[in-house]
A and B are shown apart, each in its own frame.
Chain A
Amino acid sequence: MSGASATAVGGHESKFAATKRSDNWWIGPVLTACGLILFFGYLTVRAFQGTWLWANPYVSPTGAPPLFTPISGYPGAIPVSHAWLGAFPNWWPKFLPQSPAFFFPGLAITFRFTCYYYRKAYYRAFAASPPACGVKGAPLKYNGETKLLIFQNLHRYALYGALFLLVCLWYESFAAFFKNGEFGIGVGTLVMFINATLLSGYTFGCHSWRHLIGGKLNCFTCDGSSKTRYKVWKKSTWFNERHMLFAWLSLFWVCFTDFYVLMVSTGGIKDLNTW
């Protein structure tokens, strides 16, 4: 026996980030923070630009579905004929860019922000509450989700918005098979199709969806409707077990889809297609 050192009870220090972990526990939260800043930062910039969202027949998920679209001053803007309510109205504040991202696509932000997976990600990465398992968290007053963060309980309403958005994005994906009324297929069509697929995987693994669709039942075999819901719940469980994977894949692909449309729209790359 050798080497004795006086320490706190149990050897547990109380200062921020104190731990006896010998692995690189900080890599997870650092990578998460970098990923979130990179992807959400990119989407925020693109949302405020409001430009290069359209490369006929492709529409960027940053602007889809468009409620309004600018008439002029925004190169690569979605055509007025494609917007649900046409051009931006006169009452639109001058200090805000005329970006369709401020309407329906914003629903995706609320869905991801209140998502149970992303909550874990940003509570760890940004609030250090805790930064990693067995690592002392930030010395902040902790109320969990009982006070300021109580709104997280309304995640299911963000889900309703996301389901609506998903239907719209699937519609846009199928619409991307038609250019000026002519059927065809291009790389952009596939990019949009993969985007809708990955977003479906993310949405149908949502914990609130899984609860509402069947998890709230205690008897899965009591009647025909509960048996059907059980089957859907089982499918949802498969996606739910991969929720983190779909969360990151779909986030990356939303950014990639937007970037692809941006590049085709600006002429930076040529879209390979059958038209």
Chain B
Amino acid sequence: MAQRTFKVWRGDANGGEFKEYTVETQPGMVVLDGLHRIQAEHASDLAVRWNCKAGKCGSCSMEINGKPKLGCMARLNTFEPGETITVQPLKAFPIIRDLVTDVSWNFEQNKRIAPLKTKPRDADGNHRMMQEDVDRVQEFRKCIECFLCQDVCHVLRDHKKHDQFVGPRFMIRLAQLDMHPLDTEDRIPAARKELGTGWCNITRCCTEVCPEHIQITDNAIIPMKERVVDRFYDPIAWFIGKVFGSKKS
């Protein structure tokens, strides 16, 4: 049976250190399994958040060898044999203890986005949408809120612009609502100002780390930036909007 060494950050907001643990591994194990074995054999007080172990709950987000990943989806056989695996908590959020961070800031951002405001129902009392109209929105609904995109976004991670930019996850949320065929709410002024589309410099890291392979940059952030351009930066679009009136189409 093979052995694997993990270098796990242990500590809290006051500081901490990397500690090395070596455990037995078996084929098919993932990093989260390794952490559980560490808990069982070496450090029963190791704090790690997890739930479904199937890549669908978004709980076990962590940084594995410097890359934001889900611990339950990072298979050990994807690392070199004998390679030490470094495990850290997410950088973009305040640490609670060991690998657990306080991601509640994200839920506050969600509240800043105006919810769906639907058109009146048809005469028969129904809302109708065609599949072609909701395909785009359905891609965004795959989001499991693991917040890996938020963690890797350098606007939040390095520049700490948490008060100016809601981050990629909520750019998805914004796009999901704004592109909805039944929606009538105008979120574009907020997208530009409070939610901060201009802070993103589209370096695409959010898309690279998304475990659901959502095309965050191409399908959500850039389209939202373009919608902001329509309203605030494009003089021709602005003029047409003034003459013919702007409306959601």
Chain A residues with CB under 8 Å of chain B are: 1-7, 9-12, 19-23, 116, 119-120, 123-124, 129-130, 133-137, 142, 144-146, 149-150, 153-156, 207-208, 211-212, 215-222, 226, 230, 240-241
The answer to whether B201 and A116 touch across the interface, beta carbons within 8 angstroms, is no
- The answer, yes or no, to whether B141 is at the interface (CB within 8 Å) is no
Query: In the complex, what distance in Å separates the CA atom of A54 from the CA atom of B148?
Result: 53
- The answer, yes or no, to whether B183 is at the interface (CB within 8 Å) is yes
The answer to whether A136 and B158 touch across the interface, beta carbons within 8 angstroms, is yes
The one of B15, B86, B152, B155 in contact with A144, judged by C-beta atoms closer than 8 angstroms, is: B155
The answer to whether A19 and B15 touch across the interface, beta carbons within 8 angstroms, is no
The one of B67, B89, B181, B198 in contact with A10, judged by C-beta atoms closer than 8 angstroms, is: B89
Contact flag A156-B66 (CB < 8 Å), given A134-B205, A219-B249: no
The one of B159, B203, B232 in contact with A124, judged by C-beta atoms closer than 8 angstroms, is: B203
Which of B25-33, B47-55, B222-230 forms part of the interface with chain A? B222-230
Residue of A nearest to B154 (CB): A130
9 contacts between A and B (CB under 8 A): A4-B19, A10-B9, A22-B86, A130-B154, A130-B158, A133-B209, A156-B226, A156-B229, A207-B223
The answer to whether B65 and A216 touch across the interface, beta carbons within 8 angstroms, is no
The answer to whether A218 and B180 touch across the interface, beta carbons within 8 angstroms, is yes
The answer to whether A211 and B43 touch across the interface, beta carbons within 8 angstroms, is no
The answer to whether B95 and A10 touch across the interface, beta carbons within 8 angstroms, is yes
The answer to whether B183 and A218 touch across the interface, beta carbons within 8 angstroms, is yes
The total of chain B residues at the interface (CB under 8 A) is: 66
A147 to chain B, nearest CB (A): 9
Query: In the complex, what distance in Å separates the CA atom of A207 from the CA atom of B19?
Result: 46
The answer to whether B179 and A218 touch across the interface, beta carbons within 8 angstroms, is yes
B residues in contact with A145, CB < 8 Å: 198-201
Residue of B nearest to A231 (CB): B132
- The answer, yes or no, to whether B1 is at the interface (CB within 8 Å) is no
CB-based closest 3 A-B pairs: A21-B66, A20-B66, A133-B205
A residues in contact with B200, CB < 8 Å: 144-145
The answer to whether B89 and A207 touch across the interface, beta carbons within 8 angstroms, is no
The answer to whether A5 and B18 touch across the interface, beta carbons within 8 angstroms, is yes
Query: In the complex, what distance in Å separates the CA atom of A4 from the CA atom of B130?
Result: 58
The answer to whether A20 and B86 touch across the interface, beta carbons within 8 angstroms, is yes
Residue of B nearest to A157 (CB): B234
B100 to chain A, nearest CB (A): 11
- The answer, yes or no, to whether B248 is at the interface (CB within 8 Å) is yes
Q: Which one of B198, B201, B225, B227 has the greatest number of beta carbons of chain A within 10 Å?
A: B201
- The answer, yes or no, to whether B56 is at the interface (CB within 8 Å) is no
- The answer, yes or no, to whether B83 is at the interface (CB within 8 Å) is yes
The one of A123, A137, A153, A241 in contact with B158, judged by C-beta atoms closer than 8 angstroms, is: A137
The answer to whether A211 and B223 touch across the interface, beta carbons within 8 angstroms, is yes
Query: In the complex, what distance in Å separates the CA atom of A21 from the CA atom of B86?
Result: 9
Against A, the Cβ 8 Å flags (1 = close, 0 = not) of B1-36 are 000000101010101111111100000000000000
B61 to chain A, nearest CB (A): 13
B residues in contact with A5, CB < 8 Å: 17-18
The answer to whether A12 and B179 touch across the interface, beta carbons within 8 angstroms, is no
Residue of A nearest to B15 (CB): A9
The one of B9, B83, B222, B248 in contact with A218, judged by C-beta atoms closer than 8 angstroms, is: B248
Query: In the complex, what distance in Å separates the CA atom of A221 from the CA atom of B133?
Result: 7
B residues in contact with A19, CB < 8 Å: 66
Given contacts A10-B88, A119-B201, A153-B233, 17 further A-B contacts (CB under 8 A): A5-B18, A10-B95, A12-B91, A19-B66, A20-B65, A21-B66, A22-B83, A116-B222, A120-B202, A133-B67, A144-B199, A145-B200, A149-B201, A219-B249, A221-B132, A222-B249, A241-B218
The answer to whether B66 and A22 touch across the interface, beta carbons within 8 angstroms, is yes
The answer to whether A134 and B66 touch across the interface, beta carbons within 8 angstroms, is yes
Q: Which one of A2, A20, A116, A221 has the greatest number of beta carbons of chain B within 10 Å?
A: A20
The answer to whether B15 and A6 touch across the interface, beta carbons within 8 angstroms, is yes
Residue of A nearest to B88 (CB): A11
The answer to whether A6 and B223 touch across the interface, beta carbons within 8 angstroms, is no
A66 to chain B, nearest CB (A): 28
Q: Which one of B21, B202, B223 has the greatest number of beta carbons of chain A within 10 Å?
A: B202
The answer to whether B43 and A11 touch across the interface, beta carbons within 8 angstroms, is no
B residues in contact with A133, CB < 8 Å: 67, 152, 203, 205, 208-209
